[in-house]
Structure 1
Amino acid sequence: MKCLVVDDEPLAIQLLQNYIQRVDSLVLARSCNNAVEALACLQHRQIDLLFLDIQMPKITGIELLKSLSYKPKVILTTAYRDYAVEAFDLDVVDYLLKPISFERFLRAVSKALGSQLSSPAADPDHQLLHSFNESYIYLREEKEMVKVLLKDIIYIESLRDYVRVKTMQGQIITYNKIGYLEKKLPEHKFIRVHRSYIIALEKVTTFTPALVKLENAISLPIGRNYKNATVKALNRFNILQSNG
């Protein structure tokens, strides 16, 4: 992923540059010390991942994000907690509070990549630094941002402009599109089986070409256009297919 670092503090830029160099999946495209310069860069270069400070002169990081018609994946880096809710409303990948440790940096980048990361510089044995059991997303329910562990999700259902996220503990209904959440979730753990449903592969008990059964006695249809991909994904998970 081509990265752009935007911060008005030279030491903060240096730190992120060092972290980026230690991860094979990332390459530094450019660093900028203000949002105006960053905007020009974003208009003329392909950037996949933006590390963005919030409090900067002239234009803040939040104002920059709101001005973009097309946004790369964004990780906010700031010394202030006050912007977290507004930031997640702008669909940022993560919100890092300074000072930023390398481990916390890797966890944020894992979310941006949609998979687990292992960096030889940080882990000689190539063990996963951020396990799926610790992964989470924030979803807005009414006026609160609710932390949802990915391992607890059973399925996600589209309700037009809203989605229902069914978990082991209950459910959350949030204003969002199912396609947006589909892009946020790791492909090796979740799959869309219908235009209205995403399921957690680990929660599947049995399935047929037309139906998938999940934990808690939940049955969901498999859409015709999703059948082949669903069957392949479930077979990869070593789940026995029913003959129904």
Structure 2
Amino acid sequence: MKKIKCIIVDDEPLAVSLLENYVEKIPFLELVFSSENPIDVLEFIQKNDADLVFLDIQMPELTGINFMKIVGNKMKYILTTAYSEYALEGYDHNIVDYLLKPISFDRFNKSVLKARERFPLAEASEVGHFFVKSSGHQHRINFDDVLYVESIKDYVNIKTESQEYIVLDTLKSLENQLPANFIRVHKSFILNLDKVKSLNSKKIIINSEQEIPIGEMYRSNFLDKLK
């Protein structure tokens, strides 16, 4: 999996520490720099690559809004602040989301999943596998082994030939990582076309026991892909 290189900048040490802890828990994020001083971050950005900045809006030396004006749209931003009145001020920049302190991990996770949808992750499909975090462990999964992916509320179930992996993710986000032989066939299912055994007007059979429903809005595209 290609990781999103991220930076944390916040003048509150506890806020930096909290975000560092959250980033560590997300397998597709890589923390490349964090600081309480936005000037230090600007110097780092001049010499190093990064994709996403967790940016406090109100900082004494340099506000988040002015920070974005200096850096520009070469990066994406998730704004953090304790002041709700700043919620609309930065949206003419390359903003992914806005997090109001105190930030829970659940809200943080939803925000970074939203961010991941903004980044191309096609490189993952070129190596034939990807990694997911499930049950506290990183698992390598070969694309060829995946039967289907099912959405279950805030999680997805990745079903392979021999195992299931329950992952905190969204179907849309995971869809961006899968190669061309995977297709959405239902609002809750992505299917590996190579695993199709038979089908009728309402369902797809992928082995002797597994049946996947066909959503009406996905039917035409699915049948075109089969051809």
How would you bin the TM-score normalised by the shorter chain?
0.5 to 0.7
Q: Name the CA distance, whole Å, in 1 between partners of 2:107 and 2:92.
A: 21
Normalised TM-score (structure 2): 0.55
SS of 1:3's partner is strand
User: In structure 1, what is the equivalent of residue 81 of structure 2?
Assistant: 78
Q: Name the CA distance, whole Å, in 2 between partners of 1:119 and 1:99.
A: 25
| Equivalent position to 2:15, from 12, 34, 45 | 12
Q: Are the structure 2 counterparts of residues 110 and 126 from structure 1 closer, same or farther at C-alpha, using a change threshold of 3 Å?
A: farther
Deviation, structure 1 residue 74: 0.8
Q: Are the structure 2 counterparts of residues 101 and 239 from structure 1 closer, same or farther at C-alpha, using a change threshold of 3 Å?
A: farther
| Equivalent position to 1:22, from 22, 25, 28 | 25
The residue type equivalent to 1:24 in the other structure is P
Map 1:20-169 onto structure 2 (within 5 A): 20-114=23-117, 119-120=133-134, 121=136, 126-127=165-166, 129=168, 131=170
Runs of 4 or more consecutive aligned structure 1 residues displaced over 2 Å after TM superposition:
117-133, 200-203, 234-237
Q: Name the CA distance, whole Å, in 2 between partners of 1:52 and 1:10.
A: 13
Q: Name the CA distance, whole Å, in 1 between partners of 2:186 and 2:46.
A: 41
Contact 1:7/1:34 (CA < 8 Å) preserved in 2? Answer: yes
Per-residue CA deviation, residues 14-42 of structure 1 (Å, 9 max, x unaligned), is: 11111111111111101111221111111
Normalised TM-score (structure 1): 0.52
Deviation, structure 1 residue 77: 1.1
Q: Share of identical aligned residues, percent?
A: 42
Deviation, structure 1 residue 202: 7.4
Gap runs ≥5 in structure 1: 136-185, 189-199, 204-233
Gap runs ≥5 in structure 2: 119-130, 138-154, 158-163, 178-183, 188-217
The residue type equivalent to 1:105 in the other structure is F
Contact 2:27/2:132 (CA < 8 Å) preserved in 1? Answer: no
Q: Name the CA distance, whole Å, in 2 between partners of 1:187 and 1:48.
A: 17
The residue type equivalent to 2:21 in the other structure is N
Taking CA–CA contacts closer than 8 Å with sequence separation of 6 or more, which of the two structures ends up with the larger relative contact order?
2
The residue type equivalent to 2:58 in the other structure is Q
Deviation, structure 1 residue 71: 2.9
User: In structure 2, what is the equivalent of residue 238 of structure 1?
Assistant: 222
Deviation, structure 1 residue 85: 1.5
Deviation, structure 1 residue 127: 3.7
The residue type equivalent to 1:238 in the other structure is F
Q: Are the structure 2 counterparts of residues 61 and 126 from structure 1 closer, same or farther at C-alpha, using a change threshold of 3 Å?
A: farther
Per-residue CA deviation, residues 143-202 of structure 1 (Å, 9 max, x unaligned), is: xxxxxxxxxxxxxxxxxxxxxxxxxxxxxxxxxxxxxxxxxxx758xxxxxxxxxxx997
The residue type equivalent to 2:9 in the other structure is V
Deviation, structure 1 residue 128: 5.1
Give the RMSD, CA atoms, in angstroms.
3.8
Q: Name the CA distance, whole Å, in 1 between partners of 2:92 and 2:186.
A: 29
Q: Name the CA distance, whole Å, in 2 between partners of 1:71 and 1:201.
A: 35
Instruction: Count residues with an aligned counterpart.
Output: 151
